[in-house]
Each structure stands twice: as structure tokens, then as C-alpha cells.
Chains A and B, each alone.
Chain A
């Protein structure tokens, strides 16, 4: 596994990003801007599921409106995040917060596009309010793990 991370960092792209004094800062800034957008898109839906925020709208309406913002900012997050990773893959390999983040991210994406999507975006029988609240809490917890883990990568090493 380590050798894979090593060859990623020593790849042409990895070295180019690592040797540039500006690239990391610029990519990281875009990553942060997308964080604000994805945060808003996740929060507005999860808050609605908890009965907060835009509660006069139906869950489906809020979720449908937030979906494009969510998908686009997720794409930007993944692309910029991958670039950041490539530039310091070996550090990430030894970083506990990195693995926490990746595990949370995999679970968050899986959960969002299966359970949460089914409960918020489909016309199936609507889930009970208690179930919707549970879905919101799981979603918030997983995405919080992604965000907090991400911030903590920078503090270690």
C-alpha cells in the first residue's frame, strides 16, 4: 500500500504540484470555497429533515433545489482534493486524520446517494419524521467527520 502512495507522490503530477510554491495554496483555496458551497447544500437539506430552516417547503423541494449545488461542489471537492492528495500522498499515508476523512467520505457518499436520496428525492412512500431526523443526524455526523478530518490533516506532521 505504501508503495502505491509513494509512486503517486513521485509521479510527474505529484512532483510538479509539490515543487510549486503556489499550486497547493491555490488548489486548497478552491477546495475551501467548494467546502462552503457543499456545506450549505448539505446543511439546508439536513436542517429541513430536522424541522429547521426552510421548514415551510417540502423535503423533496428543498432536496431537489440543493442537489445541483451539492453535486457540483462535490465534484470540485473531489478533483481539488485529489490534487492535494497527490502532492503529499506519503504524508497522508501516515496521517490518521486522512484515513478518518477517507472512511467518512466513502460512507457519506454512499449514504447520501442511497438512503438519503431515497428518503428525500424519490416519490416513494415518505419516511416517518423520526426516520428523517435520524437520516439527517447520520448525514451530519459523516460529513462532519470528513470536514474535521480534512482540517486535522494539516495539523499533523
Chain B
């Protein structure tokens, strides 16, 4: 099932057009989205680096998660709301953008990784709370998280470039497949 019809419908809604064409709202939403990186990804990076024994080594891991997690969740909420708004403003082009697709897939991987960490090794954090060199699963979770967020940030930025857009034909067949291009339905 393709979500393209839904995206095309969404693009015709009054709110989507208004946001897309607004002089200040769109850049404002995008700025909030980008700058909240500092809060959400910034805090995630610190937690990941703690798991890797690189920073905050004298702070217990459970304290880092306890004290920083509320801020990360708040940051993520802002990222999510502004991100949805950015998609809402430009639904069809985003849906058919390979970087947008890569970003969503990597977001899912990052989410699974965080869930696995919290349900797994972090449940026994009392056993390794003060370790500089944390257990292997914790280090793996830290590395995977850093890699995922790097891909998410970079692919998010790349959405703005139109190199692989469906209306920039001809494209390689693989690009058209991955982007889900449908001739004549690029907006």
C-alpha cells in the first residue's frame, strides 16, 4: 500500500499550503527543529559517551540516565512535533525523498536500540553503575546510538537537496524505486 494518495491529499489541505507558503512560520519551525538538536541529540551524545567511558566517567550511569532522560524526552517531543509540521508542509516531496526515507528507517532502528538498551542491560545497571568500562551490550548500544543519530542528522539535512527528487528526471532506476517515484505524481 502506498501512502502517496494520502500525502497528495494532505498537500492540498489548507494548513499544509499555509505553512508551506508562509514567510516566517516555516523557517521558524525549521529553526526550532534544528536547534533542538542541541538538547536532544546533545544529551544523547553525552549519555552514549558515558556508556563508552569517554565522558562523565565519575558520574553513575543511572544518574546520567535519570537526570538527563527527562530533558531528552522533552527535546524529542519538540523534534517530533516540529518534524511532523515540516512534513505536513511538504508531504509529497518528503515522502518521495530517499533521505527522508532513510531518516525514518534509521529513526526506527535508533528507537529499537534505545528500547533494547533500557529493557536489557540497563535493568541491571546497579551491577555496573560506576564502571568506566561498561558491559559490552551497553557499549554496543552507545556506538549504535551515535551512528544512528549521525545518519539521522545528516540525512535530515540532505532532504533539502533535490539531487534525487522525482521531478528531476532522468534518475537511475534504483533511485526511482527507492524514492517510490510515480510519473506525474511528484507534487
What is A's interface to B at a CB cutoff of 8 Å? 21, 25, 28-29, 32-33, 35-44, 47, 52-57, 61-62, 65-66, 68-69, 144, 147-148, 151-152, 155
Cβ of B67 and Cβ of A28 under 8 Å apart?
no
| Contact partners of B44 in chain A: CB under 8 A | 40
* B38 close to A61 (CB less than 8 A): no
Apart from A40-B41, A43-B39, 19 more pairs, CB < 8 Å: A25-B157, A32-B37, A32-B157, A33-B153, A35-B38, A40-B38, A40-B42, A40-B44, A40-B46, A41-B46, A44-B43, A53-B67, A54-B64, A54-B67, A65-B58, A66-B55, A151-B30, A152-B27, A152-B31
Closest beta carbon of chain B to A58's beta carbon, Å? 10
Point out which of B41, B46, B63 has the most chain A C-beta atoms below 10 A from its C-beta. B46
Cβ of B51 to closest chain A Cβ, rounded Å: 14
Q: Is B25 an interface residue, CB under 8 A from the partner?
A: no
Q: How far is the CA of A56 from the CA of B56 in the complex (A)?
A: 13
The 9 closest A-B pairs by CB, nearest first: A39-B38, A40-B42, A36-B41, A39-B42, A29-B154, A151-B31, A65-B56, A155-B27, A36-B37
Contact call A68/B31, Cβ cutoff below 8 A: no
B168 to chain A, nearest CB (A): 13
The answer to whether B59 touches A57, judged by C-beta atoms less than 8 angstroms apart, is yes
Q: Are A39 and B41 in contact (CB under 8 A)?
A: yes
Max chain A C-beta neighbours (<10 A), residue from B30, B31, B64: B31
- Counting chain B residues whose Cβ lies within 8 A of the other chain, the interface size class is 20 to 34
B93-124 contacts to A (CB < 8 Å): none
Q: Would you call A41 and B67 a contact (CB within 8 A)? A: no
Report yes or no: A36 in contact with B149, Cβ–Cβ below 8 A: yes
In the complex the two chains form, is A25's CB within 8 Å of B158's CB? yes
Q: List 11 A-B contacts (CB under 8 A).
A: A32-B34, A37-B42, A37-B45, A38-B38, A40-B43, A40-B45, A44-B43, A54-B63, A62-B56, A65-B56, A65-B57
* Minimum Cβ distance to chain A for residue B177 (Å): 22
A148 near B37 with CB under 8 A, answer no
